[in-house]
């Protein structure tokens, strides 16, 4: 997934991720990618919540994804194999205590097993390598071909057979603190044939300690001693086993991300929805143009047709969306956020076409549905959340506000909104602001019309937004009437 | 020559006080918590005892203040801290060795510790040479340590130990373990003992940072039966070096001199107090060396605060509020009144602590201070949860007040906190007026927390301080001043409070 180093599943998430996940319905997206596999889900989550901003790094993933879309069966097979290798390793029980010997035996066993998987991986790679051209997959296949080839696997297997120590363990040691034996260095195990001179000398040495062997305690001590002798080698072997397993684990995780992309692509294609490789511009270029931009999460939840929006907001730092309730405002807001997150993790974008400058973090400030009380405590809560966002903002961040600051009266709410949106604009933070506050929208359109795109949702607009300055009512009355019947 | 004390003045012998009872006012002023905190920070229970010994000796206070000032320099602190920590480790380990049953082990530990000790002494002497010192106490210590590190007996002992250690380090042996038997022989330098490296090399291509060897970990240091058995074989394999080791142990059993242990302890008084202040300083709270006098009763403190409370609040990331205190000319009595929970009791503790801490020679909480060194501190705080009836509570209070006034001299410091609350206003007023007259006649510096705000008008020596509230009329500020308070709020103000004005947002993101 990146040119330097494995993908880190535990990399720090975007700040305020919990709000983002809830507001953008990201769990639906991940579920759509995972199709019930919790590891695919975790990978999808980790990748979307750690967006990239470097166009080169994104191009690297986009190229790999392009390979995957063209070689879906091979990629799924590689992923399955890596998954099997990791699961096989996990099935081998780990010793409970810190016994080096147990560790050694287990590690030798693991390595023997994983040699088989490496061999299989090499075969699979050799048979499908021709269809791939991205740097990511070329590198993987070259590694398998040049370094983990049959010759190497044979030498490993030969080495592993020497670990039974049938004729004893030979080591050298020094005296450490308290005259404890330390720095044990193992000699190659004495073999079956003619003993080496050192082995002979040790066998004949008159200085011998034989375990009295009356108490269990003594045997435990002897085992501990043996364990310390083997410690260095056991550590080396188990470290190596872990490394080999980590290789498979990293392979499984990274392929898992692409398998998730494949799953989603399949679903969207079946629904007849478009998706495209996005054009990502460097941060700060202020690019945002989309054709038929839609919210994939809504598409995954509903069977109804999904409406896309065409936006051209290049060089416009603020988008103000007003208009009818249930006219598609929130959905549009989500589609902007989700599209950025998808595009910036190297995925395709939910649109027929998308070019955007990379956002330095995506933030949401949505009205909290569960609490509609018009108290100053509520306003306090909203402001506190906005303050948390401000703490983490950088120029070129993307902030999505959904009916913010409506918990006070419209005049005060508009004042606060103008103040905040004005400051963010000055800082180069991009804002999409969905609001019913006519005073705010009106003042923005008269005071700073040039940097702003105004969109409006119409009651019968088929959820499609059109450019337009706000109308004074939000059609709530209509909606109310529709749902509850005519008010008397 | 013995090393001179850095706690009791140059030329003094080490006066290590035994047990000293805790002064009565410790609990009222929360000084018991400070003492415990300092002892804990200094990792030396004895510090709590020193903490109970204020002095009126202006020179001794200055002597300690100078040591504190030097130790507040990070370079000097580092030298002292490293020494104290190393000495503690040596003491602890020597104790463990005393309990060891297997001589080849105990002797080796003893040797290691002696070498460690020699390094510690040298490093401490050199460290003191390498830093700038002005405190007479530390200058004397520097001289004494330099001399100690030059003494022939010290150098000879160290060289012997080093030679012996080197010989043990050269011991190398090979062993064969097969079933229940371990045999030992002298090391064969011709053979290769690199099996682990072979393994790592084979799997290096799977490791991102190739070639790095996993660290070898030694778990416990004691030897079990098998290890001890092998060690006995090694002793037989190399008899000379182990014979010399045993002889060295016998000759130098108790090698740490008492005066060095004394230096460590005394340093810990300073280091412990400074460690206790450290988190508070980090939180931005000021401390200063007060000007002290045993005759001039002027009190002056800027931004003074309650040390025990500050330590508690610092743990929670909260900040304590500082207050100015002053008694000038003939002023003797600070009468503190104002809203409940406004910081009055805290101020009374601050006042008392200032006097005690200054008399220990310690830096005091505040930006600037001038403090009188009293002959004693007398406190009268309300005793909580008294089971008896009101009448007897008043009676009890009066008895305590009588005893207090009997014990007080013109050089004492008196602190009264909410007395006579259990009687009627008129009675309280009358009783208070009488006590005020007595205190005024006594001429001792005094702080009196009282709900009777008119008290300060009854005597020319009395000064009034009042608690204040913030602009909104409800938030307590914990600030007390010599005069009275105003307030309001709306949505914009709330936004401002969240730092969400245009200017603040630009400033916050721009950072």
Strand partners, B378: B414
Q: How far apart are CA B239 and CA B233, in angstroms?
A: 10
* Token pair of A276 as six digits: 């495209």
Residue B4's pLDDT band (cuts 50, 70, 90):
confident
Residue A205 within any structural domain of the chain: yes
Average pLDDT over residues A250-273: 94
Q: Which of B99, B101, B176 to mutate to test binding with chain A, by most A CBs within 10 Å of its CB?
A: B176
Per-residue model confidence as pLDDT tens digits over A157-172: 888 887 878 788 889 9
At residue B324, the pLDDT reads 92
Phi, psi of A291 (to 5 degrees): -120, 130
Pick the residue from chain B with its C-alpha nearest to A395: B509
Chain segment A59-92, per-residue pLDDT in tens: 999 999 999 999 999 999 999 999 999 999 988 8
For residue B34, what pLDDT is reported? Answer: 95
* Domain chopping of chain B, boundaries: 55-169+255-266, 173-206+221-237, 283-510
Q: Closest Cα to residue B164, out of B241, B238, B247?
A: B241
Q: Which of A242, A270, A298 is the last residue of a domain?
A: A270
Could you report the per-residue pLDDT of B360-370, keeping only the tens digit for each?
Answer: 999 999 999 99
Of A203, A217, A236, the CB nearest to B200: A236
Give first-to-last CA distance, chain B, whole Å: 59
| Full-model pTM | 0.58
Is A346 in the same domain as A471? yes
Could you tell me the two tokens for B52? Answer: 């109970």
Q: Check if the beta carbon of residue A357 is closer than 8 Å to that of residue A288.
A: yes
Q: Contacts of residue A243 in chain B, CB cutoff 8 Å?
A: 203, 206-207
- Looking at B134-223, list the stretches that DSSP marks H as alpha helix, in order from N- to C-terminal side: 136-150, 152-170, 195-202
What confidence score (pLDDT) does residue A377 get? 54
**Residue A425 backbone dihedrals phi, psi, to 5 degrees:** -60, -45
The Cα–Cα gap between B114 and B157 comes to 9
State how far the alpha carbon of A352 is from the alpha carbons of A85, A262, B42, B45, B172, in Å.
39, 17, 69, 75, 74
Residue A13 lies in a domain: no
Would residue A447 count as lying in a domain? yes
C-alpha B120/C-alpha B139 separation (Å) is: 19
Tokens of A243: 């490394």
Q: Does the pLDDT value for residue A460 go beyond 70? A: no
Domain membership of residue A190 (yes or no) is yes
Decide if A1 is inside a domain.
no
**Same-domain status, A356 and A451:** yes
- Spelled out in words, what is the top-level CATH class assigned to the domain B283-510? alpha beta
**Smallest Cα distance from A169 to chain B, Å:** 5
How far is B40 from B33, CA to CA, in rounded Å? 10
Residues A394-449 have pLDDT tens digits of 989 999 999 888 766 666 788 888 889 989 998 999 999 998 777 788 888 877 77
State the smallest CA–CA distance between residue B164 and chain A in angstroms. 13
Are A324 and A442 found together in one domain?
yes
Determine the pLDDT at residue B485: 28
Taking contacts as CB-CB distances below 8 angstroms, the residues of chain A near B508 are 390-391
* Domain that includes residue A376, residue range: 275-484
What is the rounded average pLDDT of the residues B84-110? Answer: 90
pLDDT tens by residue, A290-326: 999 999 999 898 877 788 899 999 988 899 988 776 7
| Together in a domain, A295 and A213 | no
Same-domain status, A303 and A346: yes
Are residue A266 and residue A335 in the same domain, yes or no?
no
Among A270, A305, A340, the domain-final residue is A270
Q: A349-363, B45-59, B122-136, B268-282: lowest mean pLDDT where?
A: B45-59
CA–CA dist B312, B324 (Å, integer): 21
Q: Which residue of A has its CA nearest to B491?
A: A412
> Å from A324 to nearest chain B CA?
27
Total domains present in chain A: 2
Segment A483-487 shows an average pLDDT of 46
DSSP assignment of B184-195 equals EEE--TTS---H
Mark whether A86 and A206 lie in a shared domain. yes
* Alpha carbon distance B246, B111 (integer Å): 10
Which residues 6+ apart lie within 8 Å of B143 measured at CB?
A: none
Cα–Cα distance, A304 to A412 (Å, whole number): 39
Residue A39 maps to a domain: no
Q: Identify the pLDDT of residue B209.
A: 57
For residue A453, the SS3 value is strand
Report the gap between the CA of B121 and the closest CA in chain A (Å).
21
**A128 and A242, same domain (yes or no):** yes
pLDDT-above-70 percentage for chain A: 90
Q: Does the pLDDT value for residue B127 go beyond 80?
A: yes
Q: What is the mean pLDDT of chain B?
A: 85
Domain CATH for A395? 3.40.50.300
Contact status, residue A481 vs residue A459, Cβ threshold 8 Å: no
What average pLDDT does range B483-511 have in this prediction? 65
Q: Above 60 in pLDDT, residue B211?
A: no
Q: Which 8-state DSSP code applies to residue A179?
A: G
Instruction: For residue B389, give every residue at least 6 positions away whose Cβ sits within 8 Å of its Cβ, in sequence order, or none.
Output: none
Is residue B384's pLDDT more than 80?
no
Judgement on whether residues A229 and A201 belong to the same structural domain of the protein: yes
> A160 and A225: one domain?
yes
At residue B190, the pLDDT reads 84
Say whether both A206 and A306 belong to one domain. Answer: no
Residue contact A185–B194, C-beta within 8 A: yes
CA distance B458 to B446: 15
Domain shared by A359 and A432, yes or no: yes
Angle at B427 between CA B422 and CA B430, to 5 degrees: 130
Does residue B120 register a pLDDT over 50? yes
Determine the pLDDT at residue A375: 41
User: What is the pLDDT, as a whole number, of residue A147?
Assistant: 85
Structure tokens at A484: 């509850």
Given an 8 Å threshold on Cβ–Cβ distance, is A423 in contact with B172? Answer: no
In this structure, is residue A14 part of a structural domain?
no
Q: Among residues of chain A, what percentage have pLDDT more than 90?
A: 42
Band (pLDDT 50/70/90 cuts) for residue B258 is: confident
Q: How many Å apart are CA A73 and CA A270, to the nearest integer?
A: 17
């Amino acid at each position: 997934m990146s040119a330097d180093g494995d993908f880190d599943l535990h990399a720090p998430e975007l700040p305020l991720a919990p709000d983002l996940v809830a507001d953008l319905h990201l769990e639906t997206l991940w579920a759509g990618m995972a199709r019930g596999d919790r590891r695919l889900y975790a990978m999808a989550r980790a990748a979307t919540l750690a967006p990239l901003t470097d166009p080169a790094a994104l191009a690297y993933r986009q190229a790999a994804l392009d390979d995957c879309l063209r070689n879906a069966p091979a990629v799924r097979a590689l992923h399955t194999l890596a998954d099997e290798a990791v699961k096989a390793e996990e099935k081998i029980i780990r010793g409970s205590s810190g016994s080096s010997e147990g560790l050694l035996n287990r590690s030798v066993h693991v390595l023997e097993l994983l040699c088989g998987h490496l061999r299989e991986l090499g075969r699979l790679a050799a048979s499908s390598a021709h269809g791939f051209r991205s740097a990511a997959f070329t590198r993987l296949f070259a590694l398998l071909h040049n370094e983990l080839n049959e010759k190497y696997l044979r030498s490993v297997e030969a080495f592993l057979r020497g670990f039974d120590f049938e004729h004893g363990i030979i080591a050298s040691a020094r005296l450490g603190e308290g005259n404890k034996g330390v720095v044990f260095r193992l000699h190659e195990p004495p073999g079956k044939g003619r003993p080496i001179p050192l082995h002979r000398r040790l066998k004949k040495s008159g200085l011998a300690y034989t375990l009295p062997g009356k108490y269990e305690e003594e045997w435990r001590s002897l085992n501990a001693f043996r364990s310390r002798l083997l410690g260095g080698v056991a550590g080396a072997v188990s470290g190596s086993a872990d490394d080999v397993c980590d290789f498979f684990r990293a392979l499984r995780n990274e392929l898992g991300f692409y398998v998730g992309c494949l799953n989603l692509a399949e679903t969207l294609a079946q629904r007849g929805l478009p998706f495209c490789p996005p054009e990502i511009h460097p941060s700060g270029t202020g690019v945002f143009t989309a054709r038929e931009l839609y919210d994939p999460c809504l598409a995954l939840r509903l069977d109804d047709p999904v409406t896309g929006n065409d936006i051209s907001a290049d060089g416009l730092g603020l988008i103000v969306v007003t208009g009818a309730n249930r006219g598609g405002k929130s959905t549009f807001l989500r589609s902007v956020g989700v599209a950025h997150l998808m595009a910036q993790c190297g995925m395709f974008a939910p649109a027929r076409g998308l070019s955007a400058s990379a956002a330095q973090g995506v933030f949401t400030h949505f009205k909290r549905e569960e609490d509609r009380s018009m108290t100053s405590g509520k306003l306090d809560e909203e402001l506190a959340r906005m303050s948390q966002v401000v703490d983490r903002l950088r120029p070129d961040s993307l902030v999505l506000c959904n009916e913010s600051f409506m918990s006070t009266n419209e005049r005060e709410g508009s004042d606060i909104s103008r103040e905040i949106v004005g400051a963010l604009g000055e800082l180069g933070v991009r804002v999409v602001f969905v609001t019913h506050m006519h005073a705010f929208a009106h003042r923005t359109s008269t005071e700073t019309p040039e940097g702003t795109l105004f969109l409006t949702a119409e009651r019968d607009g088929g959820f499609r937004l059109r450019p337009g300055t706000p109308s004074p009512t939000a059609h709530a009355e209509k909606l109310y009437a529709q749902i509850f019947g005519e008010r008397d | 020559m013995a090393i001179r004390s850095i706690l009791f003045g140059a030329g003094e012998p080490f006066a290590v006080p035994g047990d000293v009872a805790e002064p009565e006012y410790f609990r009222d002023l929360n000084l018991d918590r400070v003492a415990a905190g300092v002892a804990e920070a200094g990792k030396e229970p004895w510090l709590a005892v020193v903490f109970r010994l204020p002095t009126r000796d202006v020179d001794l206070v200055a002597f300690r203040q100078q040591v504190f000032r030097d130790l507040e320099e990070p370079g000097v602190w580092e030298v002292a801290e490293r020494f104290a920590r190393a000495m503690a480790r040596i003491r602890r380990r020597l104790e463990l060795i005393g309990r060891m049953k297997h001589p080849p082990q105990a002797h080796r530990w003893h040797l290691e510790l002696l070498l460690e000790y020699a390094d510690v002494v040298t490093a401490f002497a050199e460290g003191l040479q390498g830093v700038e010192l002005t405190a007479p106490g530390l200058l004397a210590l520097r001289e004494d340590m330099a001399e100690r590190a030059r003494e022939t007996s010290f150098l000879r002992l160290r060289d012997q130990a080093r030679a012996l250690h080197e010989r043990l380090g050269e011991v190398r042996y090979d062993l064969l373990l097969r079933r229940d038997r371990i045999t030992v022989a002298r090391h064969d330098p011709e053979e290769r003992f690199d099996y682990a490296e072979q393994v790592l090399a084979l799997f290096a291509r799977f490791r991102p940072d190739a070639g790095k060897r996993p660290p070898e970990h030694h778990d416990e240091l004691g030897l079990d039966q098998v290890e001890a058995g092998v060690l006995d074989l090694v002793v037989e394999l190399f008899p000379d070096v182990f014979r010399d080791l045993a002889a060295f142990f016998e000759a130098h059993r108790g090698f740490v001199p008492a005066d060095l242990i004394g230096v460590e302890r005394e340093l810990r008084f300073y280091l412990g107090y400074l460690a206790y202040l450290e988190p508070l300083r980090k939180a931005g709270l000021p401390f200063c060396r007060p000007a002290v006098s045993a005759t001039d009763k002027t009190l002056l403190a800027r931004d003074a605060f309650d040390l025990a409370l500050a330590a508690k609040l610092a743990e929670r990331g909260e900040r304590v509020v500082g207050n100015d205190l002053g008694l000038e000319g003939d002023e003797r009595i600070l009468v503190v009144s104002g809203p409940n929970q406004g910081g009055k009791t805290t101020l009374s503790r601050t006042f008392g602590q200032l006097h005690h801490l200054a008399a220990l020679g310690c830096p005091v909480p505040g930006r600037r201070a001038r403090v009188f060194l009293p002959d004693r501190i007398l406190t009268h705080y309300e005793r909580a949860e008294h089971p008896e009836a009101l009448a007897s509570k008043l009676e009890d209070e009066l008895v305590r007040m009588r005893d207090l006034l009997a014990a007080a001299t013109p050089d004492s410091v008196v602190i009264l906190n909410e007395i006579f609350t259990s009687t009627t206003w008129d009675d309280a007023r009358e009783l208070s007026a009488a006590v005020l007259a007595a205190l005024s006649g006594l001429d001792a510096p005094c702080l009196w927390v009282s709900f009777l705000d008119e008290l300060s008008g009854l005597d020319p020596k009395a000064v009034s301080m009042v608690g204040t509230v913030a602009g909104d009329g409800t938030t307590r500020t914990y600030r007390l001043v010599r005069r009275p308070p105003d307030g309001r709020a709306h949505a914009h103000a709330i936004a401002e409070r969240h730092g969400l004005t245009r200017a603040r947002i630009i400033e916050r993101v721009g950072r």
